[in-house]
Amino acid sequence: MPGPVEDFVRSARRTTALPDDPVAAFDELYLWQARALTRQALLLCGHRKVAERAVRWAFHQAWQHWPKVLAGGDPTRTVRATVYDYALSPWHQFHPRHRRPEVCGGSSADSAVLESFLELPRSYRAALLLHYGLGLALTETAAEAECSTEAAAGRIAHGRAALEESWPPLARSPRRRRGAVLARTLRELAAAQPVRPVPAPLVRGGSARTTRLWTRASVGLTAAVAAATAFTLLTPQTGGSAPAQERERAPRVTFAPAMFPGGPEAGPGTGTGTGTGTNTRSSPTTERDSAGSSVRAPAGGTGQAYLPQLRSTNTRGHLRDLP
C-alpha cells in the first residue's frame, strides 16, 4: 500500500479518465487531489489555514466553470494552477499571524527547511516544488509555470543555489545528489503535514452559494445603475423647462442714467435730440479740479452717474449735441 510520500508524488499524474457524470467526476478529482494540493500549498505559503482556503477556492472556481475545465483536457493542472496562484499571493504576508511559518508534525529541522524555502522568490518556490517535489520534467515545469524552458531552468538553478546557501545540510551533500536530497526533503516535509479537507459535497454547495450571491449582487448593481441613469436623463427635461419659459415671459429692461440722492429732480440733462424716439440726450460738462486739470463731469448733471445702455434705443443725434 502506498504511503503519504508516494501519494504526494502520484497526485501530479492521473492515468484513469474521469466519469461522464459531472458531479461524480468532480467528486473523484477532489478526492484524488485535495490532500496533496493542500500539502503543496502549505509548502508554498507556510500556513495550513491559507493552504486549505487555497484548495477550496480552486475547486470552487473549477466547479463554477466545470465544462470549460473538462474541455481543457487536464483538470488537475487547471486546479493546481489556481491553488498555486492563491497560495503565492503576496497579500498573505500582511496578516500578523502569517509572518512566521507553521509546521505541524515536524521537527526543528523541518522548520528550518521550510523557513529557508519560504525565503525564496515566489517563482523559484513554484519551480522547485513542481520539478523536485512532484517530479515533473523541465518542459512540464515550464508549461505549468507558463514560461519558457530556459526561464524554468534558470529558476530551478538559481532557487537551488539560494537554498544551498541558506540551508547548510543541502550544501554539505555531494553535488550530484543535491537534487535527490532536495526532492526527498520536500516530499517528506509535505507528507508529514496533517490535512483534513472538507467533503466534496460541501465544496460544491459552497460554490453554488457563492455563485448565487454574486449573481444577486450583479443584478442589484445593474438595477441601481439603470435607475440612476434614468433619473439623470429625466431630471433635466422636467426641471429645466419651467425656468426657461419664465425667462421668455420676463420683460426686457434697459438701463438709464441713475440718480444719486440729492441730484436734480428734473431728470437727465437739457440736451436736445432729433429722431423718432422720446429719449433725450444729456451733454457732459467739463470742470477743472484744484490742480487746474480738466475733469469731465458725468452726463446728466451733478449728482447723476451714467450707466451705459446694453440695448440700443435707435435714436439719432446731431453733431452740435456733442461737446
Each residue's pLDDT tens digit, 267-303: 444 444 444 444 444 455 555 555 555 555 555 555 5
For residue 38, pLDDT beyond 60: yes
Confidence of residue 257 (pLDDT cuts 50, 70, 90): low
Phi, psi of 2 (to 5 degrees): -70, 145
Q: What are phi and psi of 269, to 5 degrees?
A: -35, -175
How many separate domains does the chain show?
1
Judge whether 95 lies within some domain. Answer: yes
Assess if residue 291 is contained within a domain. no
* Domain encompassing residue 48: 4-194
Name the residue among 141, 138, 131 with its Cα closest to residue 182. Answer: 131
Please determine, for residue 139, whether its predicted confidence score (pLDDT) is greater than 80: yes
* Cell 518556490 belongs to residue: 125
Q: Is 294 left (phi over 0), alpha (psi -120 to 50) or beta?
A: beta
Alpha-carbon distance values, 272 to 200, 256, 296, 319 (Å): 105, 17, 20, 11
For 192-210, the pLDDT digits (tens) are 888 888 888 888 776 455 5
Domain-embedded: residue 109: yes
pLDDT value of residue 226:
75
Instruction: Please name the residue that has the C-alpha cell 460554490.
Output: 207
- 220 located within any domain: no
Which residue blocks in 19-135 are alpha helix, DSSP H? 22-45, 48-64, 66-71, 75-87, 108-118, 122-128
Identify whether 290 is part of a domain: no
Residue 232 included in any domain: no
Rounded CA gap, 205 and 233, in Å?
A: 42
CA distance 323 to 281: 12
- The reported pLDDT for the residue numbered 256 is 52
Per-residue pLDDT band at 214 (split at 50, 70, 90): very low
| pLDDT (average), residues 211-233 | 69
Residue 292 lies in a domain: no
In a domain, 176, yes or no: yes
Angle at CA of residue 92, ends 89 and 96, nearest 5°: 165
136 and 183 in contact (C-beta within 8 Å)?
no
Contact 312, 279 (CB under 8 A): no
